[in-house]
Amino acid sequence: MINIERGLAFVIFLIIFFLNTFLYSESFKILKCKFCKNKINGRYITQEKNAYHEQCYKDHIQLKCDHCKIIINGKYNLKDEKNYHPQCFRDYILEKCDVCYKPIEGEYVKDSWGNIYHNYHRSKMPLCESCNRLISKNLTDGGYLIKKRSICNICWVHVINDAKDVKNIYYKLREELMGLGLDNIPKSIPIKLIDSKEELYRISSIPSSDGLQGYTKYTYQTIGKKKVNEKFTIYILSNLHWLNFRAVLAHEMLHVYLFNNGISLKESLIEGFCNLGSKYVYDSSPENKISELKLESMFKNSNPKYGKGFRIMNSELEMKGWRLLLKNLDKY
C-alpha cells in the first residue's frame, strides 16, 4: 500500500511539473508592448512581428505628416527623412514660383537675384535688359517695352534719359578716369541717347550683335599730315539703368582717350582695353547686384574682341596697374 501512495504522489508531482513548464513556455509568454515595454491586456496592434498598445502605436509608431502632424494613411512624400501628406507637401514644403506662386515640381530657373520660377515662363516673358529679371507682375511689377527693348519697373526709376543727368555723369566719370591717369579726355562731348538698337547699329555700322549699347563717332579733317576739326559724338542707348549707363559711357570715353592721344593698339585689343573702363565702373559699385551680373558676363563673353581681348587687357592691368599700363599702351 505504501508503494502505491508513493507512486500516486510522484504522478501528481509530475503533472504539476509539466503544467508549470507548459504555462511558462513560449506560447503562454506575457505579451508586452514593444514601445512602452508594459504588459498588454486587451486589443493590440502588431507591426513587423512587434506588438503595441493601440494608443502607443497611434502616438509613436504610426507614420505622421511632419507638417500637419496628422496620421498618414496611404501615399506620402519623403523629404530630408521627413514624411508628408502629398497635399501638405505640395502646399507647404515645395518651393513656390516667384512668378505664378504655384509649387515648383519640374524644371525651374534661379536668377542672380535669388528668384526661382518655372522654366516655361521664360518663353512667354522677356528679360529686363539692365538687370536680367524676368519681367512679370509678381517679380518686377511689370515693365515696359521701348523699340523692342524690355525694361523692368524696378530698373525704370533708375534709368538715364535726362540730358542733365548725362552731363553730370560724364563730368564725374571724367574726373575719376583722370584720377587713374586717363588724361586728355575733352571736358565735354555731345552724348546722344538712342532708343532703338537697330538705329545704333545703323549709326555705328557695326554688324548687329546683341551686346552693343554705345558707340563713339570720331571725325576729323586733315591738312597735310595734321588732323584738324576733330569731333567726337558718343551715342548710348536710352533707358539704361544708371550703373549700366555709366559703364557704357566709360567704355566710350576710353575710345575717346585712344583717339585723342593718337594711341593705336592692336585691333583685337581695342575693345578689350575700352572694356576696362566698364569694369572700373562696376568695380566701383560692388554693392549693386547689376555689377556682379555684368562682370560675370564680361568674363564669360566668348567674343574675340569684347571677351578674349578684355581678359588679356585685364590681366595686363592687374599685373601693371593703370599708370604703367597706360605708359606702355603703344606696345600692345
User: What cell numbers appear for 21 in the block?
Assistant: 513548464
Which CB, 42 or 224, lies closer to Zn ion?
42
Task: State yes or no: residue 97 binds Zn ion (CB under 5 A).
Answer: yes
Which CB, 140 or 316, lies closer to Zn ion?
140
Which CB, 25 or 302, lies closer to Zn ion?
302
* CA atoms within 13 A of residue 131's CA, in its CB half-sphere: 23
Q: How far is the CB of 68 from Zn ion (least distance, A)?
A: 3
Task: State yes or no: residue 177 binds Zn ion (CB under 5 A).
Answer: no
Judged by CB under 5 A, the stretch of 12-20, 77-85, 191-199, 232-240 that binds Zn ion is 77-85
Q: How far is the CB of 16 from Zn ion (least distance, A)?
A: 34
Residue in 45, 51, 68, 127 binding Zn ion, rule: CB under 5 A: 68
DSSP 121: G
Closest CA to 276 of 177, 195, 202, 189: 177
Task: State yes or no: residue 65 binds Zn ion (CB under 5 A).
Answer: yes
Task: State yes or no: residue 160 binds Zn ion (CB under 5 A).
Answer: no
The residue whose grid cell reads 507682375 is 137
Task: State yes or no: residue 36 binds Zn ion (CB under 5 A).
Answer: yes
Q: How far is the CB of 265 from Zn ion (least distance, A)?
A: 12
Quick one: three-class SS letters along 242-286? HHHHHHHHHHHHHHHHHHHCCCCCCHHHHHHHHHHHHHHHHHHCC
Which CB, 152 or 182, lies closer to Zn ion?
152
Task: State yes or no: residue 56 binds Zn ion (CB under 5 A).
Answer: yes
| Residue 109 near residue 133 (C-beta atoms within 8 A) | no
Closest CA to 88 of 109, 71, 110: 71
Judged by CB under 5 A, the stretch of 97-105, 162-170, 192-200, 229-237 that binds Zn ion is 97-105
Residue in 64, 128, 174, 277 binding Zn ion, rule: CB under 5 A: 128
- CA dist 269 and 314 (Å) reads 11
Task: State yes or no: residue 294 binds Zn ion (CB under 5 A).
Answer: no
- CA dist 211 and 200 (Å) reads 11
Distances (CA, A) of 66 to 79, 82, 89, 94, 102: 10, 6, 9, 13, 21
Residue in 191, 243, 256, 274 binding Zn ion, rule: CB under 5 A: 274
| Residue 250 near residue 280 (C-beta atoms within 8 A) | yes
Task: State yes or no: residue 61 binds Zn ion (CB under 5 A).
Answer: no
User: What cell numbers appear for 167 in the block?
Assistant: 552731363
Task: State yes or no: residue 64 binds Zn ion (CB under 5 A).
Answer: no
Which CB, 4 or 157, lies closer to Zn ion?
157
Residues 223-242 that bind Zn ion (CB under 5 A): none
Residue in 99, 160, 194, 240 binding Zn ion, rule: CB under 5 A: 99
Site size for Zn ion (CB under 5 A):
21
| Residue 301 near residue 314 (C-beta atoms within 8 A) | no
Helix or strand run (H / E) with residue 97: none
* CA atoms within 13 A of residue 292's CA, in its CB half-sphere: 7
Which CB, 137 or 320, lies closer to Zn ion?
137
Residues 130-149 that bind Zn ion (CB under 5 A): 130-131
Residue in 61, 93, 100, 193 binding Zn ion, rule: CB under 5 A: 100
The three-state secondary structure class of 159 is: strand
> Which positions lie near Zn ion, rule CB under 5 A?
33, 35-36, 53, 56, 65, 67-68, 85, 88, 97, 99-100, 118, 128, 130-131, 152, 155, 271, 274
